Chains A and B, each alone.
Chain A
Amino acid sequence: MKDLAVHFEGVGKKYRHFTLDDIHLELPTGSIMGFIGANGAGKSTTLRILMGLVHQDRGTVNVLGSDMPAQQAAAKRDIGFVSEDMRLYKSATLAWHMGFIRSIYPSWDEAYAASLAKRFDLKPQQKIKGLSHGQRVKAALLLVLARRPRLLVLDEPTTGLDPVARQEILGGLMEVIADERRTVLFSSQNTLDIEQISDLITFIDRGRIVDSDDKETFLERWRRVRLEVPPGVVLPALPGIVGTAGSGRLTVVTTSSYDPATAAAYQSAGATVRAVDTMTLEEIFVANVQSRREGQAA
């Protein structure tokens, strides 16, 4: 049995204009999962179900051994959640918030909080209303990190941040999993952030999980193959082809399951393989979503 920090099985939730459908998710303890999707794809809804803030209509959700939403009180002690509405009191200082969290959570680590404040360049005496967006995100992250929760869930922590603040946040997340009993799940529209620190990647689009795998496998199996196709040559239909584009003699094939046999098959069909290019996570995400949408439309 794998040790799973988060386990979704067949989870669904119906709204009037949006349906989250048959979500399966497995997040092993000690890893970081990046959750990628466009606006309105269902990222926040999924994370809210995970937190027990929204109740699913169907399926089971287990977080750190507790069934959600039934046992959410037990689980929440060990989860740190940061979302866009950060629920900080504008007229209070960061120091006041730190004292507040410390009084609720016995696991609060004062020395770690102080070192985070220094590293994030935050002044505890400053009131929340005087902080920039980036500083507020860092403040909210500090408040959960210093509790040392076993599971950290972040809804778009890096959206709208400058590059320096983003790297500070990513560094903070990486430090969490220096301890292999701790786990991070974060959503983002920024594929670069996810590509940098995630072990596992899940794509969500229109309320469905489109693909989920470990990052290196993702990057390994997606390729763009640039082919020169002489007139009269018909390319073989290979499994895993998600798109074919190009004009004249040059054709670009995008595949989600590349291996050297792919190139060999094209060669023996009479085409010349000009190049086999790796793809960035962003390109993979876009190609993946587009091909699914076309498939649904057809």
Chain B
Amino acid sequence: MYLQIMEQIKQRIAVGDWPAGEEIPSIRQLAVALRVSVITVKRAYLELEREGVIVTQHGKGSRVADGASLSPRLWEEELAQHLGQAARLGALLGLTPDELETRLREAANRFMEDQS
């Protein structure tokens, strides 16, 4: 469940809701707002701190880490994760890397068509 919270926070940062350096809600405030347990939000904040996305100062709360290229990096990480998943599922289905590549190209083309 903390992974979902991390995802949500990263999205808020990526779309600019929470700019770099901005103070973010305390663990308890966010838990109450999202109606999820304090321990889940605490875990999400710890992991985000470990990833360098946020900075927590003891007694002062947390803020978004300074770092200009933060959002592209977040999306990069997410893409890498999804590609890893795709590779795993491809292997389960017995697809060759070439077949996997074809599938990915098809998906990308479909996405472009939907966008236009």
Residue ranges of A at the interface with B (Cβ–Cβ < 8 Å): 30-32, 167, 170-171, 174-175, 177-178, 180, 195-200, 214-216, 219, 274
Indicate which residue in B2, B36, B43 contacts A196 across the interface (CB closer than 8 Å): B36
B35 and A196 contact, CB distance less than 8 A: yes
Question: What is the interface of chain B mostly: helix, strand, loop, or mixed?
Answer: helix
CA distance A185 to B92 in the complex (A): 44
A174 and B32 contact, CB distance less than 8 A: yes
B37 and A198 contact, CB distance less than 8 A: yes
> Which residues from A are CB-within-8-Å of B37?
32, 196-199, 215
A167 and B32 contact, CB distance less than 8 A: no
B68 at interface, CB cutoff 8 A: no
CA distance A163 to B93 in the complex (A): 38
A197 and B36 contact, CB distance less than 8 A: yes
Indicate which residue in A30, A180, A197, A216 contacts B2 across the interface (CB closer than 8 Å): A216
B15 at interface, CB cutoff 8 A: no
> Which residues from A are CB-within-8-Å of B40?
215-216
Indicate which residue in B31, B43, B92 contacts A174 across the interface (CB closer than 8 Å): B31
CA distance A31 to B27 in the complex (A): 13
Bitwise, B1-44 to A at CB < 8 A (1) or not (0) is 11000000000000000000000000011011001111110010
B39 and A171 contact, CB distance less than 8 A: no
Tell me the smallest distance from the CB of B109 to a CB of chain A, in Å.
30
A197 and B35 contact, CB distance less than 8 A: yes
CB-defined A-B contacts under 8 Å, sample of 6: A177-B38, A196-B35, A199-B37, A215-B40, A216-B43, A274-B92
Tell me the smallest distance from the CB of A279 to a CB of chain B, in Å.
12
Nearest residue (CB) in B for A180 is B28
CA distance A67 to B40 in the complex (A): 32
CA distance A175 to B40 in the complex (A): 16
> Which residues from B are CB-within-8-Å of A175?
32
> Which residues from B are CB-within-8-Å of A219?
1
> Which residues from B are CB-within-8-Å of A214?
39
CA distance A31 to B37 in the complex (A): 9
> Which residues from A are CB-within-8-Å of B92?
274
Tell me the smallest distance from the CB of A289 to a CB of chain B, in Å.
22
CA distance A167 to B35 in the complex (A): 9
Please report which residues of chain B, range 23-74, place their CB below 8 angstroms from some CB of chain A when the two chains form the complex: 28-29, 31-32, 35-40, 43
Tell me the smallest distance from the CB of A162 to a CB of chain B, in Å.
17
- Apart from the given pairs A178-B32, A196-B35, A219-B1, 14 other A-B contacts in the complex at a CB distance below 8 Å: A170-B35, A174-B32, A174-B35, A177-B31, A177-B38, A178-B28, A178-B29, A195-B1, A196-B36, A196-B37, A199-B39, A214-B39, A215-B40, A216-B39
Those 7 A-B pairs whose CB atoms lie nearest each other, nearest first? A199-B39, A178-B32, A174-B32, A199-B37, A216-B43, A174-B35, A197-B37
Tell me the smallest distance from the CB of B31 to a CB of chain A, in Å.
7
CA distance A198 to B40 in the complex (A): 9
B1 and A31 contact, CB distance less than 8 A: no
Tell me the smallest distance from the CB of A223 to a CB of chain B, in Å.
15
A171 and B35 contact, CB distance less than 8 A: yes
Tell me the smallest distance from the CB of A216 to a CB of chain B, in Å.
5
CA distance A197 to B37 in the complex (A): 4
> Which residues from B are CB-within-8-Å of A170?
35
Tell me the smallest distance from the CB of A219 to a CB of chain B, in Å.
7
**A177, A214, A216, A274 — most chain B CB neighbours (10 Å):** A216
